[in-house]
Amino acid sequence: MQIIENSKIKEKLYIEKLENGLTVMIIPKRGIQKKYIIWGTNYGSNDSTFIVPGETEVTEVPKGVAHFLEHKMFEQENGRNSLDVLTALGVNANAYTTNNHTAYLYECTDNFYEALDEFMDYVQHPYFTDENVEKEKGIIGQEIMMYDDYPDWKVYLNALENMYHKNPIRLDITGTVETISKIDKDILYKCYNTFYNPSNMAMVICGDFEPEKILEEIKKRLINNKSNGEIKRIYEDEPVDIVKEKVEQKMEVSKPLYTIGIKDIPAEDKEKVKKHISIEILLNILIGSSSELYKQLYDIGNSYSVPSIEYEFDKSYAFILINGQSNNPEELFEMLKKQIDKFVSEGINESDFNRTKKMIYGEYVKEYNDVTSISRMFLSDYFKGINSFDYLEEISTINIQYVNQVLKNVFKKDKMVLSVVRN
């Protein structure tokens, strides 16, 4: 078992790639009562066109299969629902689907190993029939229509549709009522057998565990399944330009909602972490709670709370999102552009840079206090080819010159979109 230690926060990661290809990561937390396990597959809503290992033909499945599959995994051949079984044991179980991975998880203080039996059983034993697939279409169809009525979701999705021409990131993770109507049990089994192979999966366990002991418990519960090789994922080429700058939708909201998006290009492997940290620094200096721009917006009554800021990226996409409520989103958008122009011409203030960098480092360290944050972070980063400890190591190497260069390369006005939802 490989041990990676981070001396800054005195944390250890135990990592082992098993014979079947499954990667297991264990982060022991001595004296912590809560235990957390998350088992993910590198399979998300973007993966609808691919070549199965050992085949030559391209397989294309309807949009929404990854999310549909996640919903169906809890239903077992014996008539039980594994979510109900886990809840009865007193553990908090859940699952989720993103654009690039699907994850199953639970957390508890007691009955960890009893829950592990059920958890590892249902993830390895799918059960799909014509009847239970048809029934699920109705349930997910209602979920899709419900999200269509959520202003927060629509303002976000409209921003992605304005940024991306072809990349599936622009589509709802759940698919549409029309696309899920084409899903059947054969499609689900094909996608399960392709993407739920151990070689395409990773597991993260965090809590008061002896690494060798918990690893043996995991191995005991694994079914005999061989690594099936690399899955070739196929995405259409995405133009570098945006679709259009502004979109507006009328919905029932008390105050206008906005999402500002900035389309970017994914970084090279060695630059991914440095670039991500730099963009976090820049966003906080630009429009964070102590920024000059946020103070101006607050003083003129054009921002009700600090905007949420995030940078999302994977192999085929990268973008910035700034979300919030504003009386006049168009004015806010123009003020943001002017502030970017000012920073590009004058450079970032050094004291702002140093203060923000320290604050972000503090936030990274705080994440290691919570077993949930640690586990989800290590899983998500793993599928991006990143070790989460890299953020703690790389932040000290970032200087103001590098950040100013990222500002010029990424924060371009012709790559910016504004999505608004108002009454």
Active site residues: 70
What is the rounded CA–CA span in Å between residue 203 and residue 379? 7
CB 90 within 8 A of CB 71: no
**What burial class does residue 33 get, using C-beta atoms within 10 Å of its C-beta: 0-12 exposed, 13-18 middle, 19+ buried?**
exposed
Token look-up 């190497």 returns: 397
What is the rounded CA–CA span in Å between residue 348 and residue 399? 11
Cα dihedral: 99, 380, 216, 125 (round 10): -10
Q: Using alpha carbons, list the distances in angstroms from residue 110 to 89, 93, 106.
A: 9, 13, 12
Token look-up 């730099």 returns: 278
- Helix, strand, coil content of the chain in percent (nearest 5): 45, 20, 35
Coil vs helix vs strand at 420: strand
Q: How many CB atoms lie within 10 A of CB 54?
A: 7
